[in-house]
Amino acid sequence: MDRHPEWLHDAYRKSIRKIGAVSKKIGAGFPHVCLNGDYNCEDASFWTSGFWGGLLWLAFRETKEESLRELAEQIEQQLNVPLHDFYDIHHDVGFMYLPTAVANYRRTGNEASRRSGLIAASHLAGRFNLKGQFIRAWTDRVDPNSTGWAIIDCLMNLPLLFWAAQEDRDPRFRHIAVAHADTVLKHFVREDWTVPHIVSFDPETGEKIENLGGQGLGPDSAWSRGQAWAIYGFAIAARETGKREYATAAKNIANYFLSHLPEDRVPYWDFRTADKDKFVRDSTASACTASGLLELSALLDDETEQAFYDECALDILKGLYDNYADFSDRQDAILTKGTVSYPVNKHVNVPIIYGDYYFVEALAKLHGHPGLF
């Protein structure tokens, strides 16, 4: 496949233009889901609060439009509030601070941004359960039963620890990231290369108790966004450590994902859903997987394998471009039909900010710009 077909340029150009246009409306807010065309905004402490800032940095990198950078910096200022409040902070500091404070520091060397990134990494490291060798998810405020819970999504927070280890020349951050990733390999990844959303451990002894369905269909199911987090998360862990086991996991989980995709390249909310619920799709899982596959292909030595995962990433992006992208001003978001949580009927088949983020991040990678994770 042509690596730079016209549709790819068109998708990137229109996405960057749309971010600029929508920035006039959203400003330095924290958009989450787009309902009836308008993004609704959350608090700065919500786990998705880094994605709009990330989109602004991606667009600024391309356009050099100062107003985009200024908004991204205003977002970063607001993100310092939950960071210092402490009680509202949680495991998702990688999603929040990598595309904002760390992105800023990497671009400009800003000392205050570096400090925010390191504080966020210290929070994340502080959530490590030594007995169970995992990073604890959520807080008692969200769920008082979650003391022993680890979730697949958290693989995507590990790049913050890898960054801090390098930045602070302190390997303990990396040791924690590797220990958590090893626990995910051991206790989440099944023989058929699928993963559950949540694994519950005894927080005192560290023994595994059980798998939990979480935002997926059930303990034995394959929640599509969870598979996407695993593909991208293991690819980054392989990139940062050189461990072959992580690349093998990323490849095989990707193979499961790719071989179960419907024709239009957007999965059902859970790969094991009943036929009656197959109308529920999750475009965010496709966008995240496409960006993760580009990360994965860059790690591989075998040119045939590399070409395969590159082509799959392009194929998914084309599916999104053809069937799920809306570049008009009818809605603030770019992608349609993401799903937050079907089991609790929360935001089903609606545009979601992280779908847009990973879509544009993948397009940017294909235009020569690395991702922010």
- Choice between 142 and 209, CB closer to ligand GLY: 142
Cβ nearer to ligand GLY, comparing 105 with 359: 359
Binding to ligand GLY (CB under 6 A): which residues in 95-154?
A: 153
Q: Name residues contacting ligand GLY, limited to 147-166 (CB under 6 A).
A: 153
Binding mask 3-42 for ligand GLY (x = CB under 6 A): ----------------------------------------
Could you confirm whether 143 is annotated as catalytic? no
User: Rounded distance, CA 215 to CA 211, Å?
Assistant: 12
Q: Please confirm, yes or no, whether 92 is among the known catalytic residues.
A: yes
If the CB atoms of residues 258 and 352 are measured against ligand GLY, the closer one turns out to be 352
Place of tokens 């200022």: 77
Burial of residue 170 (number of CB atoms within 10 Å: 0-12, 13-18, 19+):
middle
Q: Does residue 225 interact with ligand GLY by CB under 6 A?
A: yes
Tell the smallest beta-carbon distance from residue 215 to ligand GLY (Å): 6
Q: What is the three-class DSSP state of 75?
A: helix
* Triad 229, 10, 3: Cα angle to 5°: 65
Minimum CB separation of residue 150 from ligand GLY in Å reads 13
Task: State the catalytic residue, choosing from 2, 10, 38, 92.
Answer: 92
Count of C-beta atoms within a 10 Å radius of residue 23: 22
As a whole number of angstroms, the distance between CA 140 and CA 166 comes to 31
Tokens (6 digits) for 211: 């798998």
Residue 73 found at the interface with ligand GLY (CB under 6 A): no
Residue of closest CB approach to ligand GLY: 153
Instruction: Give the x-and-dash track for 327-346 against ligand GLY (CB under 6 A).
Output: -------------x------
Contact 241, 164 (CB under 8 A): no
Q: Rounded CA gap, 59 and 360, in Å?
A: 9
Residues 163-222 that bind ligand GLY (CB under 6 A): 215
Nearest CA among 202, 197, 188, 185 for reference residue 148: 202
Partners of 208 in beta bridges = 201
Chain contacts with ligand GLY (rule: CB under 6 A): 47, 153, 215, 225, 340
The set of catalytic residues is 92, 153
